[in-house]
Amino acid sequence: MSPSPLASSTRTPPAAQISVELVANQRGDNHDGSFTTMVTALVSDIFGHPIGDGSVVLFNITPVQGGVTISAAGQTGESPECDDGSYVADTGQQLDPQPGTAYACVRYLRNREGSLVTVTAQVAGIGGLIQTQNQIRLPTAPPPTATASATGTVTATPSATGTVTETPTNTSTPSDTGTPTQTGTITQTATVTTTKTDTATPTATPTATPTPTPTPRAT
């Protein structure tokens, strides 16, 4: 009887710890109503060192949920054994082989975006299978990049500063300062000096007094 892949692929020293997590909170669009995201399992020995390449890690969704699948297995130090093309194309993240790391593809329908699922990862280790579980949230669509259009509205505000050019019309108010020229009417008070010409009337009184002398009536 041939040994199971788990037993035959385990290297020495054997696995002692395993953990599983999303590679990133991102997804690839398969353009068929489904998306692909990636999970990674990190396996180490009793010293905390990554185990050798080629150790098989089994993946499951626990409990099984409709509209969500996961690739059955991945090998440490190897590229993903699933189609990660849409994920790499849409996220730009190249999944390079790493020591002690095994990848798996999680594929889900559009109506499962944001759902919580529990991923189980198993590897053969000291005394048998070593297992871990982690609850992950299936990535949703990235937020729209409409912020660039919002900045365009900011450029419209300089048009408001154009209204500042209307303030020079207030220069018409200095024309009101021409009213101080009316203070020139104060020169009309100089006509009061004409009243001093009335003092010429006393010059007429000395000539009137000597004329009425009746000397002929004495004879």
Mean pLDDT, rounded, for 106-125: 97
pLDDT value at residue 12? 56
Mean pLDDT across the chain, nearest whole number? Answer: 75
Q: Which of 8-17, 34-43, 179-188 has the lowest mean pLDDT?
A: 179-188
Look at residue 186 and tell me whether its pLDDT is greater than 50.
no
Look at residue 22 and tell me whether its pLDDT is greater than 90.
yes
Left if phi > 0, otherwise alpha if psi is -120 to 50, otherwise beta: which for 65?
beta
Q: All domains of the chain, ordered by start, with CATH?
A: 5-136 (2.60.40.10)
pLDDT value at residue 127? 86
Look at residue 64 and tell me whether its pLDDT is greater than 50.
yes
Omega within 30 of 0 (cis) for the link into 63: yes
pLDDT value at residue 3? 45
| Tokens linked to 100 | 């002690």
Question: pLDDT tens digit string along 118-167?
Answer: 999 999 998 899 999 999 999 998 766 655 554 555 444 444 444 444 44
Mean pLDDT, rounded, for 25-32: 96
Instruction: Measure Cα distances from 197 to 22, 190, 192, 203 in Å.
Output: 114, 13, 10, 12
Q: Tell me the pLDDT band of 197, cut-offs 50, 70 and 90.
A: very low
Q: Count helices and strands (H / E) in the chain.
A: 5, 9
Question: pLDDT tens digit string along 35-57?
Answer: 999 999 999 999 999 999 999 99
Look at residue 28 and tell me whether its pLDDT is greater than 60.
yes
Return the SS3 of 166.
helix
Determine what percent of the chain falls in helix, strand and coil, rounding each to the nearest 5: 35, 30, 35
Question: pLDDT tens digit string along 71-104?
Answer: 999 999 999 999 999 999 999 999 999 999 999 9
Look at residue 218 and tell me whether its pLDDT is greater than 50.
no
Mean pLDDT, rounded, for 56-65: 96
Q: Tell me the pLDDT band of 172, cut-offs 50, 70 and 90.
A: very low
Q: Using the CB atoms, write b or e for 99-114: b if 16+ within 10 Å.
A: ebbbbbbbbbbeebee
Q: Kindly state the percentage of the chain with pLDDT values over 70.
A: 59
